[in-house]
Amino acid sequence: MKTILLLSILFSVIAMPVLGELTVQDIEKVDAKIQASEDRMKAHMTQQTDLLKNHISQEIKTVNVQFTEIDKRISSDSGWTKFLFTIVVAIIGIPTAIIVWRSRKDRTLEKQIENLTEEIETLKQHL
């Protein structure tokens, strides 16, 4: 216990400032070192900011190029899609139109046949 007390007194004496007054020149030196450190830090931050801006602008340019390529692809694919859609409509639409035309023609022929058969029947009855 005595040794701990002696050691703490010894450390306290060592830690006490002996002739620890700061002069104006010392304060100015410390201030100059702090200012120099701040200037270096500002320069470093400016440099890092410029590097990041350049990197970001390069990335934006690459993304814009990629978007342009994708837009070209979509336009090309859109043209092909329209072309294929037109072909599908033609393949389905033309036969359907022919079938509809034939069915209408068949209906008119059937009506004519019915009319003629009725006329034949009426003529048979008159004879």
Q: 64-104, pLDDT tens digit by residue?
A: 999 888 888 887 777 788 888 899 888 998 999 899 899 89
The rounded distance, in Å, linking the Cα atoms of 61 and 69 is 12
How many independent structural domains does the chain possess?
1
Q: Does a structural domain hold residue 27?
A: no
Q: What pLDDT was estimated at residue 82?
A: 85
Give per-residue pLDDT as tens, 110-126.
999 999 899 999 988 88
Within a domain: 23: no
Residue 5, domain member (yes or no)? no
Residue 2 in any domain: the answer is no
Residue 8 lies in a domain: no
Dihedral angle sign, alpha carbons of residues 50, 53, 59, 63: negative
Examine residue 47 and state whether it is found in any structural domain, yes or no: yes
Per-residue pLDDT at 12: 72
Report d(CA 97, CA 102) in Å as an integer: 9
Identify the domain containing residue 110 by its residue range.
33-126
Per-residue pLDDT at 21 exceeds 90: no
Instruction: Assess if residue 3 is contained within a domain.
Output: no
Q: Flag whether 60 is in a domain.
A: yes
